[in-house]
Chains A and B, each alone.
Chain A
Amino acid sequence: MKRILTILLIFVLIIVGAYIATILDINPPQKKVRPLGRLYLFESYYGKYSAKSPEVVTSIVWDYRGLDTIFEVTVFFLAIMGGLTIFRIEKREKEKIKDLKIKYSGGLTIIVKIVTKLLTVMIVAVSASIALHGHLTPGGGFQGGTALAIAPLLILVAYSREVLEKHGLTYIKAVLIRSVSLLCILVIVFLPFIHGYYLLQNQPFYPVKVFGQLISGSLFFYNFFDYIAIGMGFTAIFLYLSIPEKIYRRIIEVSKG
């Protein structure tokens, strides 16, 4: 009861404050585009140094401020590698827990399973559209990748970890696909440098259109590989986290003797 009273008091204070601020017209909302914003809006597609992408956010993230994003990807890579290092099970440890059998309870009910089957396909389709149209519409590699990571997560919850692994998505594969796509990002970063341009340069080295479709040079490739890298990174983390606590306890018990 005391909880509700406190939150009600805060609400009343905020609403009264907002009302007073509206009447006094403190800090009116910005209605015009600032000069810097106008520069970015113009230069992302039309200007002399443009990224040839109508989506301004993607052209800033992967072109004008591309180096920031590369380091961001590196930080994310290191974070996931750190998590995997903590939760890893080594080969010699695997032999110790050979006799430990964990019974599969059968997952959730059939309604949840059918809904999950339908939803998984839709989520993968939506995430692909977010990521691959990242240079045309809002969205991009990171956004699409996080949406992609939801699909295996749903299967993990509704079915089990074994179902995912039986269908070929083991954590070793996830980490491998992730590393390969990160390598591809590095190759795209260094290719212009080898041919005498700057690092991370987009135009005029990469083609603007392929088969008449606008791909905005390197932005499409960055989005695509980032999409796979982020999705697989989160999947690997979930696969590790879903290892039952029993196994770790057993490993500690056996190694203590």
Chain B
Amino acid sequence: MIMVHLLMLLVASLLGLFFSYMAITEKDLLKAIAYSAGQGVAYSILFYLLMAPDVVLAYIAIAVGIYSALLVFVVSKTTRYEED
């Protein structure tokens, strides 16, 4: 049983790594915010598997809702594409 949990942990953390890598390398800032929200979902699965439901409840609301919305507001005050 603990093996399944560890495998799910690995998959969720790899998913989080993938999303955060894509968010860092993306030039379109709105897409980067969406990737970052995806990373938030992956990490909330991680926290749930690590038996921290209190953290999950705060994290999912902040990482997917508030944080993304704040960044969208900020991007709307600058330009959408990052220049080299």
Contact = CB atoms under 8 A, between A and B. Distances in A.
A3 B69 CA distance: 27
A241 B17 contact: no
Contacts of A155: none
A146 B58 contact: yes
A107 interface: no
B57 A153 contact: no
A39 interface: no
B65 A150 contact: yes
Contact of A143 (B14, B61, B73): B61
A150 B66 CA distance: 7
Contacts of A147: 57, 61
Contacts of B18: 7, 11
Contacts of B2: 29
Interface string A72-94: 00000000000000000000000
Contact of A139 (B54, B70, B77): B54
Contact of B57 (A6, A29, A143, A238): A143
Interface in B58-72: 58, 61-62, 65-66, 69-70
Interface residues of B, number: 23
A10 B6 CA distance: 19
B81 interface: no
Given A7-B18, A10-B17, A234-B66, A146 B6 contact: no
B69 A157 contact: yes
Contacts of B76: 245
A242 B6 CA distance: 43
Given A10-B17, A11-B14, A14-B17, A143 B66 contact: no
Nearest to B3: A22
Interface string B46-63: 000000011011100110
A149 interface: yes
Interface majority SS (helix, strand, loop, mixed), chain A = helix
B57 A3 contact: no
Interface string A1-28: 0010011001100110010001000000
A149 B21 CA distance: 28
Contacts of A15: 10, 14
B79 interface: no
A68 B10 CA distance: 33
Interface in B1-60: 2, 6, 10, 14, 17-18, 21-22, 25, 53-54, 56-58
Interface of A: 3, 6-7, 10-11, 14-15, 18, 22, 29, 57, 130, 138-140, 142-144, 146-147, 149-150, 153, 157, 234, 237-238, 241-242, 245
15 contacts: A6-B21, A7-B18, A7-B22, A14-B14, A143-B54, A147-B61, A149-B61, A149-B66, A153-B66, A153-B69, A234-B66, A237-B70, A241-B70, A241-B73, A242-B73
Given A147-B57, A157-B69, A234-B66, 19 more contacts: A14-B17, A18-B10, A29-B2, A29-B6, A130-B57, A138-B54, A138-B56, A138-B57, A142-B58, A143-B58, A143-B61, A146-B58, A146-B65, A146-B66, A149-B61, A237-B70, A238-B69, A238-B73, A245-B76
